A and B are shown apart, each in its own frame.
Chain A
Amino acid sequence: MVSFLIRRFLLSCIILLVVANLLFLMLHMIPGDPTVVALGPRSTPEMREAFRHMMGLDRPLLEQMGLFLLRLAKGDLGTDVWSGRPVLSMILDVLPLTAMLAIASFLWAVLLGIVLGCVAVMQHGKWADWLIGLISIAFVAVPSFVVALYALLVFAVALHWLPAIGAGGDDFTSQLKALVLPSFTIGLGWVGYVSRLVRAAMIEAMGEDYVRTLRAYGVNERRIVFSYALKQALLSVVSVLAIGFGTLLSGSVFAEIVFSRPGLGKLTYDAVISRNFPVVMGTVLVTSALYLVCMVLADIISAVLDPRVRSAL
C-alpha cells in the first residue's frame, strides 16, 4: 500500500511536470501580442518593451521555461501581473469555495443518483423504472445553461428562496444557500448519469452466481440488493466518478460565471481573458493536481471496497 502510494505520487509529479511544460508552450502559441492585450492598444512601444522585460518575455524560450520550472519547484507560482499578489495565495483564497461547489455537486450526483438507481433496480421492468430512466436521460441531455437559467428563474427570481448570485456571506447558512443552485446546475447531469450507471451495474450484479446462492438460502431480497449488489455496483461507479471530477471542475467555470461566484473557475476564466499568464498557469496546474489527487483517491476507495484490488497493491 505504501509503495503503491509512493509510486502514484511520483507518477503524479511527472504528469504535472508534463502538464506545466505543455501549458507553458501553449500560452506562448496563443496568437496576438500579450503585451498589447495586457496594456491595451494605446500603449506605447516603450511601455510594451518595459512590460515584456518585466515579465521575462524577452529572454529565450528555454530560459523562460527553466526559470518557470525552477520557481515551481520552490512552490512559487509567480505573481499576478496586475495586482502583484502571489498567485498561490489568490488560488488558496478561492479554492475552498470551488471545493465546496465541487463536493456539493458530487453529493447531488452520488446521493440522488444512487437512490434513483436503486429504486429503478428494485422496480426493474415496472413503470417506476421506466420513469426514472426517462428522467435520468433528460437530466443528462438538458444543457447546464438551461438548468441554470430555469433554476435561477424559479428558485431565485420567482420564489426568492435562494440567492441568485455570489457565494454567501460569512455565516455558514448563507454560504450553504448560495451553494444550492450552482451545485445543482453542475450536478444534475451527473445525477442522471450515475443513476443509469448504478442501475446497469446492479442489474449485472444481480445476475451473478453468488446472488443465486443468497436467493437459494432465502436471504431477504432487500439485503441482497443493498449489502451485496450495491457494494459491487459502487466499485464501477467510483472509478467513473473520479474521471468525472475533471468534468465537474471544468463545469465549475461555467457555474461560477453564471452565478457570479468567486472560485477557481472564475479566476481561470478572467485570467485567460486578460492574458494574465501567471494566474492561468497557476490555476490550471492546481486544477490538474486536484484531478490527480482524485484519481489516487478513487484507487484508494476501490482498494477499500475490493479485497482483490487490495491484495494486488
Chain B
Amino acid sequence: MSDQPLVLDIEDLTIRYGGVISAVDNVNLSIRPGEVMGVIGESGSGKSTLAHSILGLLPKSAHIEAARFRLSGRDVNAMDDSERAALRGPLAAMIFQNPMTAFSPIHRLGQQLSDLLWRDGQMSRAEKRERIITMLRRTGIADPAAKLDAYPFQFSGGMLQRVAISAALLMQPALLIADEPTTALDVTTEAQILHLMRELRDQSGVAILMISHHLGVIAELCDRVAVMYAGQIVEEGPVEAIFAAPAHPYTQALLACEPALIRERQGRLPVIAGEVARPGGPGCRFAPRCSVAEELCRQASPPVRPAAAEGQRYRCVRDLA
C-alpha cells in the first residue's frame, strides 16, 4: 500500500474570495487509497468549498493557493483548465447534495449518463448502455434498462442518489467526493445510501471524501475525520479516537450537541452559542464561542499539536494532551 501515491495530497491550501476573506485557510488534507475521510463542520465552515476546489468547480472569483495539490500523484496546481477537466472522473468523481437537481429535468437519464461517459469515445452506444445498466443494478436499482428511458422527475431522491453514485463509479475514480450526499434524503434512505457506499468501498476499494455536518454519518462510514471550523481544520484523526476523546473545545462542543449522544433527559438541548465568526484578525477563530477561551486565545494563532491517540492532531493554544 505504501508505494501507491496518496489519492489526495493537499498541503497549505488557502482559498480566498475577493482577496481578503479566506473560505479555506491553511488546510492540509491527505487521503490514502481505499480510505474513507470525513470532513465535518457547520454551514459556512468551508467544507464544501474544499470539496469543490478538488475538482476545480469553484467560481472564477475564487483565488486558490496551495503549497502542494496532488491527485493520485499528479500535480493539479500546475495544470491548465483543459488538463484539469480531463482528470474529472478518472481521478476524482463527485456526488452532490441534492440528487433532485443534480440531473437535467428535460433529458432522459440514459442520455445524461452516457454523456458523462464521453471519454470512452470508442465505446459503442450499446456497450455504454450495457455498462450503465450493470452499474445501476450494482447500486440497487431494479429494472435498470427501463429506467434509462425515464426522466429524473419520475424518480425518488434516494433512487436518484443511487444513480448519481452509479455515474461516479462508472468513472472508476481513485477518489469519490461525496458532498453531503444524504442531507437531502429522509432518514431511512440515508441509511440505505450509507450502507451502499460502504459496500462499494469494500468491493472496489475506492477512496471516499465524505463531507457532512452529521456526526452519525461520519461515525458510520469514515476511517478518519477532519473537523473544520471557519475555514480551518481544528482537529483531525481516526474516527474512534476523536469520538472517544475529542481534544479541541469545538469538537467537544460538537459532540455534546449530537442528539444521539446526549445521555440524560435534559430540559434544554446543548448549543454552541453564537455564530461562525467572519474569519480575519489574529487569534483562534473559535475563541469568541469557546467556553474555555483565555486572553491568549484572542491574540496568538493556535499551533497544531499532536493529541493522545496516534494520528490525532488539534489546533489550540492549550496543551491538552
- Measuring CB to CB, which residues of chain A are less than 8 angstroms from any residue of chain B? 208-210, 212-220, 223, 227-228, 231-232, 235, 305-308, 311
Contacts and interface: CB of A to CB of B under 8 A. Distances in A.
Interface of B: 55, 57, 85-89, 93-94, 96, 98, 101-107, 112, 115-116, 118-119, 151, 153-154, 164, 167, 171
B88 A216 contact: yes
Contact of B103 (A213, A218, A231): A213
Contacts of A308: 105-106, 151, 153
Contacts of A213: 96, 102-103, 116, 164
A220 B102 CA distance: 17
Nearest to A216: B94
24 contacts: A208-B104, A210-B101, A210-B102, A210-B104, A210-B105, A213-B164, A214-B115, A215-B57, A215-B88, A216-B96, A217-B88, A217-B93, A217-B167, A218-B88, A219-B118, A227-B107, A228-B107, A306-B105, A306-B106, A307-B153, A308-B106, A308-B153, A311-B153, A311-B154
Given A210-B104, A216-B94, A308-B153, A223 B57 contact: no
B106 A231 contact: yes
Contacts of A228: 104, 107
B88 A209 contact: no
B57 A219 contact: no
**Which A-B residue pairs are the 4 nearest by beta carbons?**
A218-B88, A209-B101, A218-B85, A307-B151
Contacts of B171: 217
Contacts of B98: 209
A190 B154 CA distance: 36
A16 B103 CA distance: 42
A199 B102 CA distance: 22
B118 A223 contact: yes
Given A209-B101, A216-B57, A231-B106, 6 more contacts: A210-B101, A212-B57, A216-B93, A307-B106, A307-B153, A308-B105
A219 B102 contact: no
Given A209-B98, A231-B107, A305-B106, A218 B87 contact: yes
B111 to A, nearest CB: 9
A308 B153 CA distance: 7
B138 to A, nearest CB: 19
A210 B89 contact: no
Nearest to A220: B118
Contacts of B115: 214, 219, 223, 227
A232 B86 CA distance: 26
Contacts of B94: 216
A285 B168 CA distance: 57
B101 A216 contact: no
Nearest to A213: B102
Contacts of A305: 106
